[in-house]
Amino acid sequence: MKKNIFILLTIFTFFCASCAKAQTLGAGVSVDSQGNLIINAPLYVFDRYGENPKLEKAPTSINYEVDVGIYNSQKDDSNSHEFIGEIKKGRLSITIRKPNENLLIEAMKFWHISENFFTNGSNVKIGELSLSTVKRDYIWIRLYPNLNAARILEEPITDERKYFIDDGHCEFFYSLGEVNITGKVYEPKLTNWHYEFNLHLKQGWNIVNERFYYDVKEEIEALTSITLSKDAVWVLY
């Protein structure tokens, strides 16, 4: 009897430990006990060609396949992750297994910067998640911190698309360990393109806010680790 109780307690302990590892990140995003990223969330769309477009929930008639990639900035096949997800009835539904190490690259090589810019983690391998569709009207699937962050602006250049969404979206990075970079990074190789980091990646999936802005004549890519708010939205465009 005591032996049976011990076995049941052991099983229960392992079950609880497994459950404890699962995380809910917000915006229909969670990480299960195996480290897989699960997305099940409504999508928003807007009319690029209409007048005064606004973000609205995608109609249930939208059904597309979704290509999943892990971008590592060096390999030609970096977008290969052996996954096809789906948009079904206007919702994004996909489970993304944690990537194999051979799809990842050292953090300093990912951003093409010296290890001197890291407080730690320059050699930790990372990769960036990419979600897209093969449909011409809708290509990228991006997560915005909230509806207001996904500002719709008029396209400044001649293009059949009349409107676009201002940058300031979220990216998902998978890391094999802790990576920390803080401050502006200026490298001669990057000419007028520079990075601004407030980045603190932990082992597993991480959410990073990415935005672009101009500082005098320099174009800055700002990367900041964030926690999602309840108002974060997925946008198909």
- The pLDDT assigned to 109 comes to 92
Percentage of the chain exceeding pLDDT 90: 32
| pLDDT tens sequence across 209-233 | 998 877 767 778 899 999 988 788 8
108-130 residue pLDDT tens: 999 988 899 999 999 999 999 98
Residue where the block lists tokens 């997560």: 143
Q: Which residues contact 159 (CB under 8 A, 6 or more apart)?
A: none
pLDDT score of 22 more than 90: no
pLDDT at 14 over 50: no
Q: Taking the model in full, what pTM does it have?
A: 0.81
In 3D space, the residue among 227, 200, 232, 195 whose CA is nearest the CA of residue 211 turns out to be: 195
pLDDT of amino acid 127 = 93
Q: Which residue did the predictor score with more confidence, 154 or 60?
A: 60
CA distance 103 to 133: 21
Alpha-carbon distance of 100 to 196, in angstroms, equals 28
| Domain edges within the chain | 26-236
The total of other beta-carbon atoms located within 10 Å of residue 102's CB is: 9
DSSP state at residue 34: T
